[in-house]
Structure 1
Amino acid sequence: MSIDLNPLSLRELTTLIRDAKERQKALNSRQPVDKVRRQLAALAQKSGYTIEELFGEEAASPAKAKPRRRKGPKVAPKYRDPESPWNTWTGRGKMPLWLASKIRFGHSPVDFLIPGVAKLTPNDKPLTGKRQLFKQS
């Protein structure tokens, strides 16, 4: 978060600093959420209630985080730019700009394969059987 402080006057800056210090003090004095949640659950149980009865099902469990995307294994680079060796590409995902610009100027992706590491994946799969068209007479 960025606040543009240039247009603020001295009075506005001192007010902003004072308010920020008060907010910082309030945040530092609070107990952690987990500790407060445990205390509330203990107090509710002592009184003969459950958290679900008092606040509903949503309040009983902490906020669920989004499931993380599963990461695949690291893949070795398949293509390398001969002019700048740190430019590499695994062949997965969107084609990088350096390779796209070279292809646009007439090069082939085969020109940038790393020797001994990568083989070009064929675009056309061989047909297992050919169809023949018979005309009815």
Structure 2
Amino acid sequence: MDLSKMSRDELTKLRTDVDKALADFDNRRRAEARAAAEKVAREHGFALDDLTGNTDKKSGRKSPAKYRNPEDPRQTWTGRGRQPGWIKAALADGRPLSDFTI
């Protein structure tokens, strides 16, 4: 292939095709590496995600809300992380957490 005899449009298309081929190549290699790592993890009695710590964060899933503010139903809390102000205030007033369970 003689690049010096190609038109600008042909060179641009070639570059686009090369970029796509490189991306496809990287994706195939990544998939092969993941499959190999999963196989080794299984041989040792683990799932790869157990070893890498990839859980809900990787898949994009969020934890469902477990608690709802009865005074403002738009305010919810999963029960993880810091307690929101409305939970703290209610607990300080002596209300049990179970009052807010969804």
What TM-score do the two structures reach when normalised by structure 2? 0.41
Which one has the largest radius of gyration? Answer: 1
Query: Which has the bigger relative contact order, CA under 8 A and spacing at least 6?
Result: 2
Q: Which structure's residues are more often helix, by fraction?
A: 2
